[in-house]
């Protein structure tokens, strides 16, 4: 099997090498300097046995003075070659450290940038912990890969080829034995590694990734686990995954053990062939005692490299297996990319238009939207209401270009959202989500996320407008307080107000409030509703809400049902419509509220 063959359930090794070479090409000079230093160091080591043989041969001479001079010259040559080897090796490692750290940083940065640009659907269906594990493991595999290829395998090839050539110049049969034996050993190692160890390692890596995903899932949802007293259930779930991981990893390690034993047996056979050939040459008078010393010393060099080649190939295979998951991330197409020639959007009025829009979710035969036409004027406040799954959230995602329309177009101030850069489009839209997500950073950093260059006075003013300054200033570290992972240290209402403060500071012309007052107590909802009213002033606003009391004061309501806008108008007009969907929803919620108050 070729090292570059496509492997089941993974990207081809040739793709991994192509990925690596692409990064190497960015640093041709550094790679060339590394290769030159390795070549010099290895050749210095290859020539040491030659002079060791001459030293032994000189000592066997009858003329002690001549022997002393010859032995001294050989000794000095050995010392000089050792000094060259040490200097070149040191230079190699200095370069390798610099090269590897830069490339590891590039790999992590490139993968992070790509993952950030994957679709929301991709992130929703992928374990964050698994993704982090793939990136970190792939990044660190580069360290092993560089050491294996540049510091181990390349000098091994040079040493084996150089030794075979030098021996062949003295005794062709000996050069042939070394060359054939080395090639046979390397071939055996590759076959065992790729046919036996690699498939097992790929499966164990996959289960290692699953372990990371299960751990991240449970730790990230620890509050839910605690709330249901489900610690033992999560531990049992992890135990099942660990049992699979244990079995797959044991199979990989045992495959490596058997492969290592086969390689050691091959080395013993090669040792017997080389020493036996040397003895035959001596018996025929074709080799002196010094020559035998040269052959034996060369064998020790060859043996050390061949013995380590097995380990190096195993390391190479393992690091390639680990890097291939990172390469898969780079090969994963970005679902939505900026069009060629895309320009930053220029939003002045914030007018939004859907023009003959049809939209299919991937894998669905029936479109959610079909020939949808609707216009929202700049500065208009519009509510989106309807049952869950009716298309409200998808509607705003199309405006943000989280998805691309199947046909038709969505425009903002007459600009097709597909013709502008995604970054500029989304910076022109402030979003307050149903469940605001905060970074594990300070309150000040979270509020300023949309405008990192904002002054503290601007941040504080945004918090005041969002009715958030009171609880922030009561905290021990005020605006410097860390909020915990995803804002876990704050209540739901406090997270909502931080998200509103973030939107105030971003000062975008278009505002999306995604069910921003659901699941809150009445006091928090009142404070948030007041802040939202201030936030909506002068902005094109889309409000998604199931609680219809939050949209009564809006300019217009769009009522969605199975991807169609079945009604539109203000609250007063829609609630008077006999048999209308909005009226039914409103009356149902009013009855539920009345029952709740009566209870």
Q: Look at residue 10 and tell me whether its pLDDT is greater than 60.
A: no
* Mean predicted confidence (pLDDT) in 399-406: 90
Question: What pLDDT does residue 62 have?
Answer: 64
Tell me the average pLDDT of the chain.
82
The more confident residue out of 410 and 521 is 410
The more confident residue out of 297 and 355 is 355
* Mean predicted confidence (pLDDT) in 107-115: 86
The more confident residue out of 190 and 354 is 354
Question: What pLDDT does residue 410 have?
Answer: 95
Provide the CA 333 distance to its chain's centre, in angstroms.
14
pLDDT tens-digit series, residues 307-362: 777 677 777 777 887 788 888 888 887 778 888 889 999 999 999 999 999 998 87
Residues above pLDDT 70, as percent of the chain: 92
Q: Look at residue 89 and tell me whether its pLDDT is greater than 80.
A: yes
Question: What pLDDT does residue 546 have?
Answer: 67
Q: How far is CA 83 from CA 70, 157, 570, in A?
A: 20, 22, 88
Q: Look at residue 441 and tell me whether its pLDDT is greater than 80.
A: yes
φ and ψ of 4, to 5 deg: -100, 10
**Lowest mean per-residue pLDDT among 171-175, 485-489, 556-560:** 485-489
* Mean predicted confidence (pLDDT) in 392-411: 92
What is the residue extent of each domain of the chain? Answer: 13-330, 349-428+541-599
Q: How far is CA 345 from CA 91, 261, 416, 502, in A?
A: 51, 64, 9, 21
Question: What pLDDT does residue 521 have?
Answer: 59
What is the DSSP-derived secondary structure letter of residue 195?
I
Measured CA to CA, the distance from residue 541 to residue 544 in angstroms comes to 10
The more confident residue out of 303 and 400 is 400
Question: What pLDDT does residue 7 have?
Answer: 42
Q: How far is CA 278 from CA 40, 163, 284, in A?
A: 28, 15, 10
- 555 within 8 A of 573, measured Cβ to Cβ: no
**Lowest mean per-residue pLDDT among 74-83, 196-205, 252-261, 355-364:** 196-205
The reply to whether 349-428+541-599 shares the fold of 13-330 is: no
Q: How confident is the model at residue 15 (pLDDT cuts 50, 70, 90)?
A: confident
pLDDT tens-digit series, residues 575-594: 888 888 888 888 887 776 56
Question: What pLDDT does residue 325 have?
Answer: 80
Question: What residues does 21 pair with on adjacent strands?
Answer: none
Q: How confident is the model at residue 598 (pLDDT cuts 50, 70, 90)?
A: low
pLDDT tens-digit series, residues 208-245: 778 877 887 787 677 667 766 777 888 888 888 888 88
**Domain covering 13-330 in this structure, CATH number:** 1.20.1560.10
pLDDT tens-digit series, residues 546-575: 677 778 888 999 999 988 999 999 988 998
Question: What pLDDT does residue 4 have?
Answer: 40
3-state SS class at 365: coil
Question: What pLDDT does residue 1 have?
Answer: 38
Residues above pLDDT 90, as percent of the chain: 16
Measured CA to CA, the distance from residue 131 to residue 81 in angstroms comes to 48
Q: Look at residue 536 and tell me whether its pLDDT is greater than 90.
A: no
- The structural architecture, per CATH, of the domain 349-428+541-599 is 3-Layer(aba) Sandwich (3.40)
Closest CA to 324 of 335, 314, 316, 313: 316
* Mean predicted confidence (pLDDT) in 450-470: 88
pTM of the model: 0.66
pLDDT tens-digit series, residues 36-45: 998 998 888 8
């Amino acid at each position: 099997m070729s090292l570059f063959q496509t492997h089941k359930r993974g990207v081809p090794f040739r793709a991994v090498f192509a990925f690596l070479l692409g990064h190497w090409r960015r640093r041709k000079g550094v790679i060339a300097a590394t290769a030159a230093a390795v070549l010099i160091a290895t050749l210095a080591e290859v020539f040491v046995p030659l002079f060791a043989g001459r030293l032994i041969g000189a000592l066997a001479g009858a003329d002690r003075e001549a022997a002393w001079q010859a032995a001294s010259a050989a000794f000095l040559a050995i010392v000089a070659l050792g000094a060259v080897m040490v200097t070149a090796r040191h230079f190699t490692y200095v370069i390798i450290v610099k090269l590897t750290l830069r490339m590891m940083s590039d790999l992590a940065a490139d993968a992070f940038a790509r993952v950030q640009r994957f679709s929301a659907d991709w992130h929703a269906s992928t374990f964050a912990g698994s993704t982090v594990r793939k990136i970190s493991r792939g990044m660190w595999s580069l360290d092993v890969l560089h050491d294996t290829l540049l510091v181990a395998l390349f000098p091994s090839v040079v040493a084996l080829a150089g030794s075979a050539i030098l021996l062949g110049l003295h005794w062709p049969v000996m050069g042939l034995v070394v060359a054939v034996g080395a090639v046979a050993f390397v071939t055996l190692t590759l076959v065992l590694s790729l046919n036996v160890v690699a498939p097992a390692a790929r499966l164990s890596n996959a289960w290692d990734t699953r372990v990371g995903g299960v751990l991240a899932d449970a730790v990230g949802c620890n509050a839910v686990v605690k709330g249901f007293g489900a610690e033992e259930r999560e531990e049992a779930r992890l135990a099942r995954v660990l049992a699979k991981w244990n079995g797959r990893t044991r199979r990989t390690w045992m495959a490596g053990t058997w492969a290592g034993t086969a390689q050691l047996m091959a080395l013993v056979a090669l040792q017997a062939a080389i020493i036996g050939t040397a003895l035959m040459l001596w018996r025929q008078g074709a080799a002196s005692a010094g020559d035998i010393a040269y052959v034996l010393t060369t064998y020790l060099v060859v043996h050390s490299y061949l013995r380590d080649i097995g380990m190096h190939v195993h390391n190479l295979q393992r690091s390639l297996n680990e890097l291939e998951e990172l390469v898969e991330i780079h090969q994963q197409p970005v679902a939505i990319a900026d069009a060629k020639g895309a320009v930053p959007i220029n939003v002045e009025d914030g007018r939004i238009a859907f023009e003959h829009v049809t939209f299919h979710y991937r894998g669905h035969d029936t479109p959610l939207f079909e020939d949808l036409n609707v216009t929202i004027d700049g500065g208009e406040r519009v509510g989106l209401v309807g049952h869950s799954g009716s298309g409200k959230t998808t509607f705003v995602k199309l405006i943000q270009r989280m998805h691309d329309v199947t046909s038709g177009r969505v425009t903002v101030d007459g600009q097709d959202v597909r013709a502008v850069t995604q970054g500029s489009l989304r910076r022109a839209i402030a979003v307050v989500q149903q469940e605001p997500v905060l970074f594990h950073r300070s309150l000040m950093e979270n509020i300023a996320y949309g405008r990192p260059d904002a002054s503290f006075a601007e941040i504080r003013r945004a918090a005041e407008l969002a009715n958030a300054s009171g609880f922030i200033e009561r905290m021990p570290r005020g605006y410097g307080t860390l909020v915990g992972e995803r804002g876990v240290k704050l209540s739901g209402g406090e997270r909502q107000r931080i998200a509103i403060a973030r939107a105030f500071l971003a000062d975008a012309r278009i505002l999306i409030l995604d069910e921003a007052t659901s699941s809150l107590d009445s006091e928090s909802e009142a404070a948030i509703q007041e802040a939202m009213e201030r936030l909506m002033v002068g902005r094109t606003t889309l409000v998604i809400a199931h609680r219809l009391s939050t949209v009564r004061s809006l300019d217009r309501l769009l009522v969605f049902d199975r991807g169609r806008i079945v009604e539109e108008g203000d609250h007063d007009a829609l609630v008077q419509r006999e048999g209308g969907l909005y009226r039914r929803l409103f009356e149902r919620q009013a009855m539920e509220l009345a029952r709740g108050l009566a209870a």
